[in-house]
């Protein structure tokens, strides 16, 4: 789509038309995606970057472009360990870990909910030997 002003014509870039996906990510995370100028410092400091299929700065870029399907299919949003290194390295103060957490929540919301733990399905005996953090993290999937 072209926008014509008095003597110039400008083309709409994908960033100019913000879709509902971009708005939802920004609302949930409380961050402005377009504040990121892709310096890559978040990815350079990420201890999990070597294991990610999409680096943290690339996650932000895909989100900026509204590429929801690619982000939801990415393993990187699940590889992030929320260590907050990316947050501390960002020169713009963008809280990247919160954006990734928002994407995780959205991904869980889009999937059929058969990946969670029902505490009633576990015997009392087994519950006694399971680490509490395993139960808590498995049950957190139900809160998204």
* Residues 6 or more apart in contact with residue 109 via CB below 8 angstroms: 144
Alpha-carbon distances, residue 20 vs 27, 66, 67 (angstroms)? 10, 8, 11
* DSSP helix/strand/coil, 93: coil
Q: What average pLDDT does the chain have?
A: 82
Phi, psi of 9 (to 5 degrees): -120, 130
Q: Where are the domains of the chain?
A: 18-111, 116-144
| Spatial separation of the C-alpha atoms in residues 143 and 25, rounded to whole Å | 17
Mean pLDDT throughout 50-74?
Answer: 94
pLDDT confidence tier of residue 136, bands split at 50, 70 and 90: confident
DSSP code string of 22-89: HHHHHHHHT--GGG-----HHHHH-TTGGG-SS-HHHHHHHHHTT-HHHHHH-SHHHH-----HHHHH
pLDDT confidence tier of residue 113, bands split at 50, 70 and 90: very low
Which pLDDT value is given to residue 111? 63
Between 38 and 18, where is the model more confident? Answer: 38
pLDDT confidence tier of residue 95, bands split at 50, 70 and 90: very high
Instruction: Pick the range with the lowest mean pLDDT from 66-70, 84-88, 137-141.
Output: 137-141
Between 2 and 106, where is the model more confident? Answer: 106
* DSSP helix/strand/coil, 130: coil
Q: Which CATH superfamily is domain 18-111 in?
A: Alpha-helical ferredoxin (1.10.1060.10)
- pLDDT of residue 85 exceeding 90: yes
Which pLDDT value is given to residue 18? 66
């Amino acid at each position: 789509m072209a926008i014509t002003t008095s003597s110039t014509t400008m083309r709409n870039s994908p960033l100019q038309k913000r879709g509902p996906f971009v708005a939802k990510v920004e609302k949930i995370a409380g961050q402005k995606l377009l504040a990121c100028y892709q310096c890559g410092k978040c990815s350079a400091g990420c201890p999990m970057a070597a294991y990610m299929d999409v680096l943290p700065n690339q996650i932000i870029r895909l989100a900026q472009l509204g590429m929801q399907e690619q982000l939801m299919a990415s393993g990187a949003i699940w590889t992030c360990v929320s260590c907050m290194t990316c947050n501390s390295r960002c020169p713009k103060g963008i809280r990247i870990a919160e954006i990734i957490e928002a994407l995780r929540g959205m991904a869980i919301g889009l999937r059929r909910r058969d990946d969670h733990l029902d505490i009633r399905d576990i015997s009392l005996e087994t519950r006694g030997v399971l680490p509490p953090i395993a139960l808590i993290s498995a049950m957190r999937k139900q809160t998204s």
